[in-house]
Amino acid sequence: MLALACDIGGTNTRLGLVRDGILLSGSTGSYSNDDFEDFYAVAATFLHERDTQRVDSVCIALAAVATAEGATLTNRDWTIARDRVAAASGAGRVDFINDFEALGYAMGQVEKLKSQCLTPGRAHGRPGPRLVLGAGTGFNASAWCPSRFGAAPHVVAAECGHMTLPLAGEAEFSLQGALSAGRGRASVERALSGRGLFEIYQWQCAKAGRVPSVATAADVSRLAVTRADRDCEQAGHMFMRLLGRVCGDLALAYLPFSGVYLSGGVSRAFARSLSKDPTFLDAFRAKGRQADFMESFPVHLLLDDRTALHGCAEWLRLSAA
């Protein structure tokens, strides 16, 4: 059984070949969407480069809701029709899964993923669910749960980015006012996303009575981590504190005794701070009398660009069984 795994993002598309539910590590490739007219051209190029005429099935992970016909990317004018993918790849079956569901399925093959442990001394935890969550363009999470009855594991899909942003204390209430202005409320991803980080930075500058001098979220995180700008640094601290708190809240919702995995571009941009600065982990643990209980959950930062492809592979493995 040879299959094609695809992870279609807004900017890049990653592809890989999967045999019997395992991603062939030498087979993967990444392509800039701007270089192609449509997804079919990306897939054709990939298969041609891999000297592969046809595959048995295709699994596509993307940030979109799929219908019987296919899916349309939310952040790019690409429609991906199931029958055209089948025709171009020879596949008898074409499946679409949500991008975060793919990360959830990847938790079933976590030993294949590059990651960094943020809780040294407790890297492994005990048997139980795994939680993957991430801040990037938006925020979301997904939980992988081993079955209690020897059946296939289960992946819980979610829309955690739209949950209420949990805030406490005066400074954060002022931030809530800024983030909810004109919107009536502040959701989790209103703060925990690239755009959210930038709005936290703007709020921080306003609070300090300074004019923002930095133009992008990427710059804010870079200057925060290198401690080169005090407003960026303060904004970074607030971001990590809120990320830690939300991460802890979601750990209480899924009890991931087998590990919490942070994903997403903005989370990764804070890699150095997450491992050296206690802000994130302190907020993760700050659950009153449950602080000791929070130590049950090992926390890791995912560093693997191919996590969603491994998730497609695991999905193909489970759906073929």
Q: Which stretch binds a second copy (CB under 8 A): 25-33, 119-127, 231-239, 313-321?
A: 313-321
Q: Residue for token digits 């790019």?
A: 76
Q: List the one residue from 156, 206, 218, 271 that touches a second copy (CB under 8 A).
A: 156
Q: In the chain, what is the straight-line distance between the N-terminal and C-terminal CA atoms, in Å?
A: 12
CB of 321 to a second copy, least distance (A): 7
* Beta-sheet strands, E only, within the chain: 2-8, 12-19, 22-23, 29-32, 57-62, 70-72, 79-81, 93-98, 115-117, 130-135, 139-145, 154-156, 260-263, 299-302
Alpha-carbon separation of residue 33 from 8, 13, 61, 195, 314 (angstroms): 9, 6, 15, 22, 25
Contact string 163-192 vs a second copy (x = CB under 8 A)? xxxxxx----x--x---x--xxxxx-----
Alpha-carbon separation of residue 146 from 214, 299, 302 (angstroms): 45, 18, 20
CB of 169 to a second copy, least distance (A): 8
d(CA 283, CA 261): 16
Q: With binding defined as CB under 8 A, does residue 228 bind a second copy?
A: no
* Other residues' Cβ atoms within 10 Å of the Cβ of residue 289: 6
Task: Of 22, 106, 16, give the one whose Cα is nearest residue 308.
Answer: 106
Q: List the one residue from 111, 149, 211, 276 that touches a second copy (CB under 8 A).
A: 149
d(CA 243, CA 221): 14
Q: Report the relative pairing of strands 2-8 and 57-62 from DSSP bridges.
A: parallel
Contact string 104-143 vs a second copy (x = CB under 8 A)? -------------------------x-----------x-x
Closest to a second copy by CB, 66 or 253: 253
Q: With binding defined as CB under 8 A, does residue 151 bind a second copy?
A: yes
Closest to a second copy by CB, 276 or 289: 289
How big is the site for a second copy, counted in residues (CB under 8 A)?
46
Alpha-carbon separation of residue 192 from 134, 184, 255 (angstroms): 8, 17, 21
Whether the CB-CB separation of 192 and 243 falls below 8 Å is answered with yes
User: With DSSP H G I counted as helix, E B as strand and the rest as coil, what are the percentages for the chain, rounded to 5?
Assistant: 45, 20, 35
Residues in the chain: 321
Contacts of a second copy in 50-89 (CB under 8 A): none
Q: Which stretch binds a second copy (CB under 8 A): 219-227, 267-275, 282-290, 298-306?
A: 282-290
Closest to a second copy by CB, 120 or 288: 288
Closest to a second copy by CB, 220 or 308: 308
Q: List the one residue from 94, 158, 224, 316 that touches a second copy (CB under 8 A).
A: 158
Q: List the one residue from 145, 200, 217, 309 that touches a second copy (CB under 8 A).
A: 145
CB of 68 to a second copy, least distance (A): 15
CB of 155 to a second copy, least distance (A): 8
Contact string 240-269 vs a second copy (x = CB under 8 A)? -----x---xx-xxxx--------------
Structure tokens at 182: 């004109």
Whether the CB-CB separation of 142 and 104 falls below 8 Å is answered with yes
Q: Which chain residues interact with a second copy by CB under 8 A?
A: 129, 141, 143, 145, 147-149, 151-152, 154-160, 162-168, 173, 176, 180, 183-187, 245, 249-250, 252-255, 286-288, 290, 293, 318-319, 321
